[in-house]
Chains A and B, each alone.
Chain A
C-alpha cells in the first residue's frame, strides 16, 4: 500500500466506482487463456469436488467428483482434467520462432505463443499447486497405477503454479490479484479478495451500480464464493443431501452436477468479464518482453519433458535450489518493478513521491559544454531542470530518463527555489555519439519535460550458485535427483 493507492481508494469511495491504479496493463492476457475454476471439499486435504474449465467462454467443461472422499473418483477427475489441460497445452506447440543469440551468430527456437491458466484467486493457485503435488509422483504401472496423463498433469500444474509466484510472469494468473493491481476500489483489500465484489466495483453487471454490485457479492445465493472453498450453507443444505442421494441411487448424477454447476457458473462468467476488462487496457511497453520470457520458460519445460527420463519436481527444494530460486525471484521482482515504472507514469509517480525520481521541465541547457579538466576533452552537456516533486536524491546520484536510456545524468547540485520546488543541475554523458558536438535532439532542450529516476532496468548479474552437483557439504552435499519412490506412487489420497 502506498500513498497513491490509498488516495485512489479514497477517491473510489467518493466517486462510488473503482479508480485506475495504472495507465497501462502490466500482465499479458492471451488470446485463448484456459480458465479454471476449481472447488474443493471442505475439511479435506485439497480434495477436488468440481471444476469448470475451458478456453471457450461459451462451452465450459464441468468436471465433478460425485463422492469426493473416493480415491478412484479423484484420480478419474485428475485424468479427465489432465486430458483437457494437456490438449490445451499441446495446441501451443505447433509454431516456433527463431530467436537470435550470441549477437546474432546463432539462433535458438521458442514457441511463438504459450498457454495461460487463469484461476479466480490466490487460493486457486494454491489448490492447483497441491493438485500438482498429489498427482505428479504417481506411477503408471505396478500397484495403484494411474492413467499416464495424471502424473503429466501433475508436472504441468506444478510448473504453472511455480510460475504464478514468479514476478512478472503471466503463464498462470490469479484474477483477483491481476485486477487489484490495476484498480483501487472503495472497499478494503479484505473485501477485494471476493472476485464478485472486486469486479462489481470495476465493471458492475447491467443495471447495478458498483456499490450495489459489491453488496450483492456478499450474498452467497446470488454470488457463490469463487472457490476453491464452498459456501458452508450450500454444503449443509444442498450439497450434502445431493451427494447422499447420488450415493443411494446413481441416477441422481445429473442432479448433483446441476447443483455443483450452479455454484461454479456465476464465477465462470465473472472470470471472462475480468478477462475482457483487463484485455481492454492497452499493454505496457515491456509486457511483450516478459511474455517472451514466459514463452522461453514454457518451451524449456516442453523440451525437458520430451527428453530422456524426465523427473517430476521434487517434494522439497534442495538447499542450492531453494537459494537459487530465491535469488531468481528477487531479481525478477527488481526487473519487474523497474519495467512497470518505466512503462507507466502512474507507477513512476510512486517513486517520485518517495523522492527516488523527479519529473520536471528543462529551464536551461548547455548542449556543447566541454569538460577538459582531466586533460582529455570530453563532451559533457549540462542542463537545469525545475521540479515540484519532493526530491530526496542528492548530488552525485546518477539518474536517467526513459526517452534517453543510454544517457547518464549525474546530479551536480540541487537548489531550493523561493517560488517552491527545486532546481536540479545535471551533467550528461553517453548517448550522444563520439564527436565533441552533440547531435541534434540528443541533449534535452529547454521546455522539454523529463522524468529522471535512479531506477536501473539493467539486469543484475545472476548470483553465482554452485551447480547442483557441487553443493557444499555444509548445505547437505550434492542433492540426489528426486526420483519418486514407491511410497510416493502409492501415497494415500484420502
Chain B
C-alpha cells in the first residue's frame, strides 16, 4: 500500500512529534483536514499526531475550543437512550418510519471487545463481525455498536468509530449517526446537519473500504446515512435519511489531493521537530523555536480555519496583511492579489501593474475612484 518503507515514515513522524503519545484523528478532524486540503502545515502536524492544542497554548495563541459539560451530558444521555435495550426504540423507528426491512435483530457492542480495548484488537473484531454479516453468516448480527474502522489518510491508517452500523437483511449496510441537535418541524440547523453529513461520509468511505478489502461489494454500504436526532423540543428520537453522495464525492477528491505523507516529509529538513519538550506535563522548549519550526512548513490560512484548527490564531497572526486573512471572496474580489497593501497601491495608481494584473488594477482604480467620489 505504501511506497516508502513504513518504518522510516513512522520513525520520521515520531521524530516530528517528539516524545509524547500521538493525538489521533477522528471523523471531525478528517472533515476539517479536507476542509483545507492545501495546507501542508496541518497535513504534516496531523500525520505526526502533534498535539496542536498544547502547541497553540505554548506559543501564546490558544484557541478557545471547548465543549460545554451540558452539551456532553445531553449528547451522552441521548445516545444512551437511543441504544437502550439493544436499540429497541431505534429499531421500531427504523422499521416504521423509514420502512427498513430489519428482521431478526442481533445487537453487538464492539466497544469493549471482550475487555481488550486496544485499537488493533477492536479493529480486527469489527472486521470479523462485519465480514460475517456481509457474507450472510447466520446470526452474525444486525447492529454493530461502535465498530472500529480504518481509513488511510495521506498513506497512514486512521481509526474511526461510527456510532452504529445497521445491517438491513437482504442488501444494505447503513451508517447510523446519533446527534443531539433537535429536528424541529422537520427542520434542523443547516450547519450542524452539514457537519454531520461530512462526518458520516467519512464513515461510509471507511466501511466501503473495509468491504473492498474483504472482497464484498462496497456499494452494499448505502450512501443514505441514518441520522438520529431528538424530535422537536423533546427527547424522543427521530430518524432521517441523509443522502451523502455529494459529500462522498468531495471527500474522495479532497483525500486524493492530500499529499502523501512521505512526499511531504521528503521536503522537510531532516532535523525538524515539533517536540514541545514536555517534562512533567510542562512544555520546556522555547516557544520561539517552536514558532520557527512551524515556519518551516507552509500554511494556507483562511477564516474557515477559525472553526476547525487549533492553530488558527497563530496562522491568522502570521497571515496579517494578506488578503487570505479577509476571506476567500474578498481575496477574489481583489483580483487574487496576495497582500492588502499591494492591492491598495494598485488601486491608488502608486504601483505600476504587471501585464497580468493590468485588468485587475484598472478595476481597482475604478472602484476606488467611485468610492472616493461618493464619500467626498
Which of B70, B232, B235, B373 has the most chain A CB within a 10 Å cutoff? B70
Query: CB within 8 A of B321: which of A2, A13, A44, A230?
Result: A13
Q: Which residues of B contact A352 (CB under 8 A)?
A: 370
Q: Is the CB of A353 within 8 A of B66?
A: no
Partner of A232 from B66, B185, B367 at Cβ < 8 Å: B66
Q: Give the docked Cα–Cα distance between A7 and B75 (Å).
A: 44
Pair B186/A316 contact, Cβ less than 8 Å: yes
B66's nearest neighbour on chain A, judged by CB, is: A232
**Residues in A whose Cβ lies below 8 Å from that of B364:** 3, 7
B180 touches A190 (CB 8 A): no
Q: Quick one: CB contact mask for B353-376 with A, threshold 8 Å, 1 for yes?
A: 000000000011011111101110
Chain A residues contacting B370 (CB-CB under 8 Å) are 4, 349, 352-353, 389
Instruction: Let me know if A9 is at the binding interface, CB within 8 A.
Output: yes
Does chain B have a CB within 8 A of A235?
A: yes
A366 within 8 A of B: no
Query: Which residue of A236, A349, A388 contacts B374 across the interface (Cβ within 8 Å)?
Result: A349
* Segment 86-136 of A: residues with Cβ below 8 Å from B: 130, 133-134
Segment with Cβ contacts to A, from B141-149, B239-247, B329-337: B329-337
CB within 8 Å for A9 and B71 given contacts A23-B374, A315-B185: no
Inside 8 A of B68's CB, which chain A residues have their CB?
Answer: 42-43, 230, 232, 235-236
The answer to the question of A231 belonging to the interface, with a C-beta cut-off of 8 Å to chain B, is: yes
Interface string of A475-494 (1 = CB under 8 A from B): 00000000000000001111
Q: Which B residues are in CB contact (< 8 Å) with A286?
A: none
Cβ-defined contact, A2 with B375, below 8 A: no
Q: Which residues of B contact A2 (CB under 8 A)?
A: 333
Q: Is A41's CB under 8 angstroms from B186's CB?
A: no
Q: How far is the CA of A7 from the CA of B182 in the complex (A)?
A: 40
Query: Are B334's CB and A491's CB within 8 A?
Result: no
Q: Which residue of A lies closest to B189 (CB)?
A: A126
A1-B330, A9-B326, A190-B304 given; A235·B340 CB < 8 A: no
Contacts of A493 in B (CB 8 A): 233-234
- Total number of A residues with any Cβ neighbor in B under 8 Å: 53
Within the complex, what minimum Cβ distance (angstroms) separates A64 from chain B? 16
The answer on a CB contact under 8 Å between B326 and A10 is yes
* A222 contacts the other chain (CB 8 A): no
Distance in Å: Cβ of B217 to nearest Cβ of chain A: 39
Interface membership of B39, Cβ < 8 A: no
Interface string of A1-28 (1 = CB under 8 A from B): 1111111111101100000100100000
Q: How far is the CA of A188 from the CA of B312 in the complex (A)?
A: 13
- In the complex, whether B170 has a CB less than 8 A from a CB of chain A is no
- Please give, as numbers and ranges, the residues of chain A lying within 8 Å of B197 by CB-CB distance: none
B234 and A492 contact, CB distance less than 8 A: yes
B303–A10 contact, CB under 8 A?
Answer: no
Docked Cα-Cα span, A230 to B364, in Å, equals: 41
Confirm or deny: B249 has a beta carbon within 8 angstroms of a beta carbon on chain A. no
Nearest chain-A residue to B324 (Cβ)?
A188
Listed residue (B69, B73, B347, B369) with the most chain A CB atoms within 10 angstroms of its CB: B69
Rounded to whole angstroms, the CA-CA distance of A189 and B180 in the bound complex is 28
Given that A14-B341, A494-B235 are contacting pairs, would A189 and B303 also be in contact in the complex, using a CB cutoff of 8 Å? yes
| A140 beta carbon closer than 8 Å to chain B | no
- Nearest CB of B to A49, in Å: 9
Q: A11-B344, A23-B374, A191-B306 are in contact. Are A236 and B367 (CB under 8 A)?
A: no
- Which residues of chain A come closer than 8 Å to B333, judged between CB atoms? 1-3, 5-7
A353–B367 CB distance below 8 A:
yes
- Distance in angstroms between the alpha carbons of A20 and B372 in the assembled complex: 11
Is the pair B67, A232 in contact by a Cβ cutoff of 8 Å?
yes
User: Is there a chain A Cβ closer than 8 Å to B60's Cβ?
Assistant: no
Determine which residue in A3, A190, A353 has the highest number of CB atoms from chain B within 10 A of its CB, and name it.
A3
User: Assuming A353-B363, A390-B366, what are 9 further A-B pairs, CB within 8 angstroms?
Assistant: A5-B330, A6-B330, A10-B344, A13-B340, A45-B234, A188-B325, A188-B327, A235-B68, A316-B185
What are 12 residue pairs bridging A and B, where the CB atoms are less than 8 Å apart in the complex?
Answer: A5-B330, A6-B326, A7-B333, A10-B334, A20-B375, A42-B71, A43-B71, A43-B74, A187-B325, A191-B306, A389-B366, A494-B234
B residues with a Cβ closer than 8 A to A are 64, 66-75, 180-182, 184-186, 230, 232-236, 303-304, 306-307, 313, 321, 323, 325-327, 329-330, 333-334, 340-341, 343-344, 347, 363-364, 366-371, 373-375
